[in-house]
Amino acid sequence: MYFAGVDIGSTMTKVALMDRSGNLLSTIKGPTGPEHRQLANEVMRQALEQAGLRIEEMSYIVATGYGRLNVPFADRQITELSCHARGVSSLFPNVRTAIDIGGQDAKCMKIDKGRLTTFAMNDKCAAGTGRFLEVTATTLDIRLEDMGDIASKATKKIQISNLCTIFAQQEVVALLSRGEALENIVAGLHDALASRVAVLARRLGIEPDLVLTGGVAKNNGMVKAMKESLGCQLLVPEEPLLTGALGAAILAKEVYLKAVTEGEDLPAKSRRLEKATFFG
């Protein structure tokens, strides 16, 4: 009896495979790319290969993330908010507030006994998301993954007043032309993003334990800026990208086992690892 969670985010696709005792058998991360409809099966194939399993052995598969409807072999779609909440609380049982900063959105979740209770998400724009750093890294001609280290060398606080990604980009150019040191600008960008996300969290009310996930949580500079902005301790999982897929796998297991216990019939799904098509 095996379960899978497939999380198709705007930037990265993540898969987690799990057995009935909740042991993780394999996890895979890969870029989503423009054709995520074509990719879910490929990432799933890799995950199965790593675990030495076949698709037919999967009892239940939950798809999540913004591409969740493009996973033809999934049994059910559950939003990334519920999946993150479940995944995070499996790693940190005392979590009450979780913040996930992804490539396309930022979400703040309140969690009670492992379940999502309320949430807030950023508006439909790049401000307050990983894209904010990605875009400004390009403007500064530095690598996204180096941003945290560069920020740690800052010698003074710089206020980036524009939270709009496009206008912040202009502001960065203006700062550069004024001769401002790169590390100070990069630290300022981290602070700007952190303050934007912190507002989202405050709208819901922050309760400890507080956990930060998503690709942005891999950036130490960002973790530091978030701690300062929120004024409290912040826990970060070892693999902050995987909590959505992990939660999806756990929910797959729970949904399936509950149905089995209650003698409910889950419609059998004939699974084929194929590319999704628009007309299929």
Left (φ > 0), alpha (ψ -120 to 50) or beta: where does 168 sit? alpha
Least Å distance, CB 51 to another protein, is 28
Cis geometry, peptide bond prior to residue 123 (ω within 30 degrees of 0): no
- C-alpha to C-alpha distance for 101 and 118, rounded to whole angstroms: 17
CA 258 to chain CA centroid, Å, is 27
User: Which one of the spans 51-59, 73-81, 132-140, 145-153 is the region binding another protein (CB under 8 A)?
Assistant: 73-81
Decide if residue 249 touches another protein (CB under 8 A): no
CB of 243 to another protein, least distance (A): 15
- Cβ proximity to another protein: between 100 and 183 the closer is 100
β-pair type (2-8, 58-64): parallel
**Dist CA 57 CA 36 (whole Å):** 24
Q: Which of 54, 115, 202, 272 binds another protein (CB under 8 A)?
A: 115
Q: Does 118 bind another protein (CB under 8 A)?
A: yes
> For another protein, which stretch binds (CB under 8 A), given 28-36, 117-125, 225-233, 264-272?
117-125
The site string for another protein over 122-151 (x = CB under 8 A, - otherwise) reads: -xx---------------------------
Closest contact distance (angstroms) between CB of 207 and another protein is: 16
- DSSP calls for 148-177: HHHHHT--S-------SHHHHHHHHHHHHH
